[in-house]
């Protein structure tokens, strides 16, 4: 059984039109979906001592994620306001709250004592990626930020490099995934929305040209939030457990369809104005991209 630590961003995703909020954030989502896939999962991040922080903690506990590394601090939990347009989530505004932290001895211990540490580009931990990768296997989500310089700098550190494809084109996904592997990633996953996903690695393990594509499973889409994180978590668990790449990707695609059939990344909604905190001087107009 693989052990995975999600390390970095968390957020409450606030659906203003519905007066609901859900726990989320790339690293929280990956930890939860890894636990659902059968891994031992933990989460290292900071939340506020408020209703939103308590909701994130209780949801992680309910999902079987180890919250011993979670820190609850004075201040407000990170939040993101979301609009839905034909089922597609649009990030409107975000507040980082108390979520940011730096990597120290404790975080390196967590990386060493788990089979993989997962970090997202929204986590603000890019400077620590070489140190984390030296301590253990690194899973990194580039989201939509993958210019050539970033791929060359980060892909060689990665056991699994994940990218959000800008189109649903499987051919473009294959090219991007193979480019990341050529740059040094052991595995590369490209999520393609309704176009499915591509997983690339050593051709000796994957077969063919070293990349396998799986289309998305049919689903009545309610909300796409968390679908890419579902793919990442399930592929990561499968690869760590020695599952065949094609089988891991097929299972991940099924689970991603399940995620698209509900609101929020993994459920656990809360209602009322506590889910819609006002912005403050820590807010940013830069939308989340994962």
Q: Please write the tens of the pLDDT for every residue from 162-204.
A: 999 988 899 999 999 999 999 999 999 999 999 999 999 999 8
Tokens of 147: 């210019």
pLDDT score of 276 more than 50: no
Tokens of 36: 């659902």
Average pLDDT, the chain: 91
Question: DSSP string spanning 19-43?
Answer: TEEEEE-HHHHHHHHHHHTT-EEEE
pLDDT score of 116 more than 90: yes
pLDDT score of 146 more than 60: yes
pLDDT score, position 89: 62
pLDDT score, position 141: 98
Cβ burial of 73 (10 Å; 0-12, 13-18, 19+) is middle
pLDDT single digits (tens) 42-84: 999 999 999 999 999 999 999 999 999 999 999 999 998 877 7
pLDDT score, position 207: 86
Taking the CA atoms of 239, 252, 192 and 119 in sequence, report the sign of the dihedral they define. negative
Residue with structure tokens 């308590």? 54
Domains of the chain: 3-277 (3.40.1190.20)
pLDDT score, position 19: 84
pLDDT score of 216 more than 60: yes
Question: DSSP string spanning 128-147?
Answer: GHHHHHHHS-EEEEEET---
Rounded to an integer, what distance in angstroms lies between the CA atom of residue 262 and that of residue 140? 25
Q: For residue 88, what pLDDT band results from cuts at 50, 70 and 90? A: low
pLDDT score, position 209: 86
| % of residues, the chain, pLDDT over 70 | 91
Question: DSSP string spanning 62-81?
Answer: HTT-B-TT-EEESS---EEE
**Against a cut of 0.75, is the pTM above it?**
yes
Ramachandran angles phi, psi of 164, nearest 5°: -95, 115
pLDDT score of 31 more than 60: yes
Nearest alpha-carbon partner for 64 in 16, 135, 116, 3: 3
pLDDT score of 287 more than 50: no
Taking the CA atoms of 205, 209, 215 and 216 in sequence, report the sign of the dihedral they define. positive
161 within 8 A of 177, measured Cβ to Cβ: no
pLDDT single digits (tens) 220-265: 999 888 999 999 999 999 999 999 999 999 999 999 999 999 999 9
pLDDT score, position 271: 83
pLDDT score, position 272: 59
| % of residues, the chain, pLDDT over 90 | 80
């Amino acid at each position: 059984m693989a052990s995975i630590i999600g390390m970095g961003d968390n957020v409450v995703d606030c659906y203003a039109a519905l007066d609901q909020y859900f726990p989320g954030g790339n690293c929280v989502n990956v930890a939860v979906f890894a636990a659902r896939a059968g891994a031992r999962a933990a989460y290292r991040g900071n939340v506020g001592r408020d209703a939103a922080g308590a909701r994130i903690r209780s949801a992680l506990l309910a999902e079987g994620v180890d919250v011993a590394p979670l820190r609850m601090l004075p201040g407000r939990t990170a939040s993101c306001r979301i609009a839905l347009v034909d089922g597609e989530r649009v990030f409107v505004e975000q507040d980082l709250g108390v979520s940011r932290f730096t990597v120290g001895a404790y975080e390196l211990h967590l990386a060493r004592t788990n089979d993989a540490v997962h970090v997202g580009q929204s986590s603000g931990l890019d400077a620590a990626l070489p140190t984390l990768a030296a301590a253990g296997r690194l899973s990194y989500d580039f989201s939509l930020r993958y210019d050539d310089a970033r791929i060359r700098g980060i892909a060689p550190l990665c056991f699994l490099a994940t990218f959000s494809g800008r189109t649903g084109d499987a051919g473009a996904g294959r090219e991007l995934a193979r480019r990341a592997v050529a740059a040094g990633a052991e595995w590369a996953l490209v999520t393609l929305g309704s176009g499915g996903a591509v997983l690339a690695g050593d051709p000796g393990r994957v077969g063919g040209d070293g990349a396998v594509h799986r289309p998305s499973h049919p689903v009545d889409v309610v909300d796409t939030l968390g679908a890419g994180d579902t793919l990442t978590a399930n592929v990561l668990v499968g690869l760590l457990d020695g599952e065949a790449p094609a089988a891991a990707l097929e299972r991940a695609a099924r689970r991603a369809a399940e995620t698209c059939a509900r609101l929020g990344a993994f459920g656990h909604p809360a209602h009322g104005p506590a889910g819609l905190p006002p912005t403050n001087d820590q807010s940013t107009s830069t939308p989340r991209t994962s």
